[in-house]
Chain A
Amino acid sequence: MTLAGLAASVPQHGTNAINELLAGVKPDFVPVWVVPLTAIGIAIGITLAFVSVIAMFGTWLERKVAGHIQCRYGPMRVGWHGWLQPIADGVKLLLKEDMVPLGADRVLYVLAPAIVLASVLAAMAAYPLAPGFFFADIDLGIFFILAMTSTTTIGVVMAGWSSNSKWSLYGAMREAAQVVAYEIPLGISLLVPIMVAGSFNLLEVSRGQTGLWGMSWYVWPWVNPFMLPAFVLFFIAILAETKRAPFDLPEAESELVAGFMTEYSGIRWSFFFMEEYAAMFLYSVVGAFFFFGGFESPLTHFAAKFAGDGSVLYQVAAGGTLIVKGFAGVFLMMWLRWTLPRVRIDQVMTLGYKYLTPLALVCVLGAGLWEVFLAPHLPWRQYLP
């Protein structure tokens, strides 16, 4: 087995488009092992660029949404409606002085933003850009995403502890407690669509919901009535997992300055923000896959009908659909952030352990009973995939 197989996390049922493309154009004098290594390099490059663009657009969108909710415009000066603002910000952040506070644990302080960003970049490996274009068609895709994003906590705790500041440490402690509490309802609420789909694989879950013009999306009550409550629980849990308001306790600016990133500045600080927006987008895409039909949309239907399943047009339509669905989720999260007040930390803990976890378990039980006893006898069963 080569390193390429390793990086793509072994079982691959689909084709690795980049690998095949490269193998096709490889001159004879180049050794075989160069191909997978180059493919890995290109895949990492695409992922990095994708995450950067998502994060840049995310920061712009956040400021516009915040502005319009508060009856102002938000950034307007740089470009049309300020769309170049993220680039100006990026240049500013790159030029800022790189500071390490006195008494900080230097090694961990430098390492922490890298771990935080690496976790979400690794999770992005399982994100399929289009039905026929992905880096790794992992059989346990959603499990991989949850595992990789869960390592963010360690980076955040590392940042908080190594900063040698009480605000940072408070933020880190809150983050650790909060993420451990909300990982449980997040995983359990995702079990409901996983049970109905019978697969962990994102592409297969998406395939299971196509047809019927969106009537077979898992979120609809006629597929399984426990799906909608499961989605609500999932959405609350991802708000807490991505440290978004009303659960932004780790960085609560009115009490902890900026929480775990109080002491960070410049490009290291921007790593935390890239992680936040990339994680928001990734979780929204997971929600789109497991509840809202994945690649399915009228656009994808037309592209499949007029240009065929294998065409580039279909791939672009499907990938674009997914991005739109992802940003719809991100918009919802921003809307909530600028509408709801922040809750207290004890309320966060109570909600996670005492309400969300039992409710998620009830959802799983109910969905399982429905699937076993009622679903085979439903009159509209034949129309569902």
Chain B
Amino acid sequence: MNEGALQRIFYAALGLLALLACGAGLAAAGGSGLAFALFAAMTLGGSVMCIWERSVVRSAFALMATFTGVAGLFLLLEADFLAMAQILIYVGGILALLLFAVMLTPPDLGERKLTRILAGTLLVGGPALVLGVQVARTANWFVRGAPLDGRAQGEFGSAERIGVGFLAADQYVVAFELAAVVLTVALVAAVYIARRKKADLEPDAGREGN
């Protein structure tokens, strides 16, 4: 079977699965079910595409669907601030930097070796499977009830609520500031390491001894 046909079969199956999921969501919970199915399909489909695609840059672009889908899921949970932060940071920032890095990286030709694929699958898939089974066992499936307090009134995603909760409740602000300081230190260190020495910039510097 050639590459093109395989590609077509894969995407047809992916699209079919997404359609099925949307139908199931619509049948199960109406509009919100459909929206959930759509965003879940975007998230999972994007990640499957990211693994499937042979070109690294295409994989990186597939991540956009995943990030946007996750933002949509946050939106469905009525956490708008998280949804917008997800898009601003992951799609606008991290993905752009990722693409930048991917485009500057030469392709790794040993990528498709069977041993490497097997090792990678076991290393990542094993723990993921254990985690997934654990979550599936402990989750309460199909709970329908009243939303949590304050959510339906649209207060939940408001900036004021977040700010007040952030500053008062359990003093998250200290942990947040500490994390910010740690990140800044890491950033400065990275810049220091990556920065070229002055000698590297001068073309004749190495030749002086001759």
Contact = CB atoms under 8 A, between A and B. Distances in A.
Interface of A: 1-3, 6, 9-13, 33, 105, 108, 138-140, 143-144, 146-148, 150-151, 153-154, 157-158, 161, 169, 173, 176-177, 179-180, 183, 199-200
A146 B30 CA distance: 31
A179 B93 CA distance: 9
Interface residues on B, range: 20 to 34
Interface stretch (B79-87, B109-117, B121-129, B166-174): B79-87
Contacts of A151: 64, 87, 91-92
A107 B161 CA distance: 43
Contacts, number: 103
Given A6-B75, A150-B92, A140 B80 contact: yes
Instruction: Provide the main secondary structure of the chain B interface.
Output: helix
Contacts of A199: 159
Contact of B80 (A9, A153, A158): A9
Interface of B: 30-32, 34-35, 55, 57-58, 61, 64, 75-76, 78, 80-81, 84-85, 87-88, 91-93, 95-97, 99-100, 103, 154-159
A147 B84 contact: yes
B61 A10 contact: no
B84 A139 contact: no
Contacts of A176: 96-97, 99-100
Nearest to B72: A6
Given A139-B157, A158-B61, 14 more contacts: A3-B32, A3-B35, A11-B154, A11-B156, A33-B31, A105-B55, A108-B61, A146-B88, A147-B85, A153-B96, A154-B92, A157-B96, A180-B97, A183-B92
A179 B156 CA distance: 31
Contact of B31 (A3, A144, A147): A3
A184 to B, nearest CB: 9
30 contacts: A3-B32, A3-B34, A6-B76, A9-B75, A9-B80, A11-B156, A11-B158, A108-B58, A139-B157, A140-B159, A143-B88, A144-B84, A146-B88, A147-B84, A147-B85, A151-B87, A151-B91, A154-B61, A154-B91, A169-B103, A173-B100, A173-B103, A176-B96, A176-B99, A179-B96, A180-B93, A180-B97, A183-B92, A199-B159, A200-B159
A245 to B, nearest CB: 22
A147 B80 contact: no
B42 to A, nearest CB: 14
Nearest to A151: B91
B191 to A, nearest CB: 10
A150 B91 contact: yes
A138 B91 CA distance: 20
A153 B31 contact: no
A10 B84 contact: no
A301 B75 CA distance: 38
A2 B159 CA distance: 23
Nearest to B34: A3
